[in-house]
Amino acid sequence: MRVLLVTNHFLPEEFKCNSMVFELQRRGHEVTVLTGIPDYPKGEYFDGYGVFRKRVERINGVKVIRAYIFPRGKAGKIRLVLNYVSITLSQAFDAFWLGLFKRLDRVLVYESSPVMVGIAAGIVSRMQHIPMLFWCTDLWPESLSAAGGISNPSIIGYFTRMVRKIYRNSTRILITSEGFRQSIEEKGDFADKIVYFPQWADAPAESSGMEIPALPEGFKVMFAGNIGEAQDFEHILEAARILKDEDIHFVILGDGRKRPWSEEFVREHGLGEKVHFLGRFPAATMPAFFAQADLLLVTLKDELIFNLTLPAKVQSYMAAGKPIVAMMNGEGPRVIAQAGCGMSAPAGDARALSDVILQMKSMDGTELAAMGTRGQAFCETHFKLERCIDHLEQLMKTENQTI
């Protein structure tokens, strides 16, 4: 099939849609990607990209069209609004021309945030009367209040109406978590459109020859990913403060808007020998990092949208074969318990997190290894890329409804 993927993020940014695109291409589909100039997570254009550079390129044979995007920077809400508005308008313009001149069979949407990515996809879908499959990985407008701190009823109402229209224009709504189902059904008569379609664990990248920095001696609790508001670093670091006198090290891989605050907290509380911010590293180095961890940490704040979410890092952690420790509520702890691959503390409870870490540290090594093995087996059964793309192909082939 001739498939258009509309997404806000694509290589060199690291998102699940990357492996989906190349797997579809490997299976013989002709995939075109409409995305933005890469700027996530640092908030500035990646080297080699810009307003007049690499706006159209081929990556491993896939044509990538990059809409203009105002870089989000680190300056807060105004720049983020400009970021969202710019890519929405620019993608809509590009989508119109694709709808006129590029014959397609299916439109896929990878919706991380913002939800307006569905507008451009809807333009092509309606112009060519072809099905649109909307892969929802972030609930709107719930995320506006949870992550953006927006509670104005007029704004929430406006985006609720927008989301409802995007769902109405979609022939299928794919959800990464069963917890999303109720929120989507409350917005309209969409029950028959919803399909559970989880994120997968990408195959571990080849790490041969790639060096990583020396890690501290002792029991290592490792966090990998975005250092943002949603990840609740206030309580992660409070747990580290509680465990200050234990032989436990928190190793933080990644970057994000909350990193400066977190590093200041570490300095103020004398945690420099126990909390280690190592920065961002290529995906190919993750197997080497994870191999040296004793526990892999995943956290989310206690917000309704986060309680409904299964973070993608859970699958990646499972695939690494290491036990997981979580501080979150809802879907994440449920899946971890179902897999038997770790233990959880309630969201926002630093004391409970520190107690769980101490409990797992006291376990026999074979018991922790068994958790990791169970996680790998669960991941192989439920979160394998090839199985997920088999399902996606089936949906694309059987979805004959036009709009």
pLDDT in tens, 340-387: 999 999 999 999 999 999 999 999 999 999 999 999 999 999 898 999
Assess whether the region 2-200+384-398 and the region 219-382 belong to the same CATH fold.
Answer: yes
The two three-digit tokens of residue 264, written as one number: 């200041």
Domain map (residue ranges) of the chain: 2-200+384-398, 219-382
**Helix, strand, coil percentages in the chain from 3-state DSSP, rounded to 5:** 45, 20, 40
**CA–CA separation, 154 vs 149, rounded Å?**
14
Query: What pLDDT was estimated at residue 168?
Result: 95
Torsion of CA 134, 138, 140, 144, to 10 degrees: -150
Res 334 pLDDT > 50: yes
Average pLDDT on 119-145 reads 92
Question: Which residues neighbour 391 within 8 Å (Cβ) at sequence distance 6 or greater?
Answer: 197
Q: Quote the CATH superfamily of domain 219-382.
A: Glycogen Phosphorylase B; (3.40.50.2000)
**CA–CA separation, 184 vs 152, rounded Å?**
21
Fold of 2-200+384-398: Rossmann fold (3.40.50)
Q: Which of 88, 139, 142, 155 is nearest to 116 (CA)?
A: 88
Average pLDDT on 149-165 reads 87
Query: What pLDDT was estimated at residue 402?
Result: 44
Let me know: does 342 contact 46? Beta carbons within 8 Å: no
What's the pTM value of the predicted model, to 2 decimals?
0.80
Res 14 pLDDT > 60: yes
Average pLDDT on 32-56 reads 93
10 Å Cβ neighbour count for 165?
15
**CA–CA separation, 255 vs 323, rounded Å?**
23
3-state SS class at 135: strand
User: What is the average pLDDT score of the chain?
Assistant: 91
205 versus 90: which is more confidently predicted? 90
Query: What percent of the chain is predicted at pLDDT more than 70?
Result: 96
pLDDT tens string 130-139: 999 999 998 8
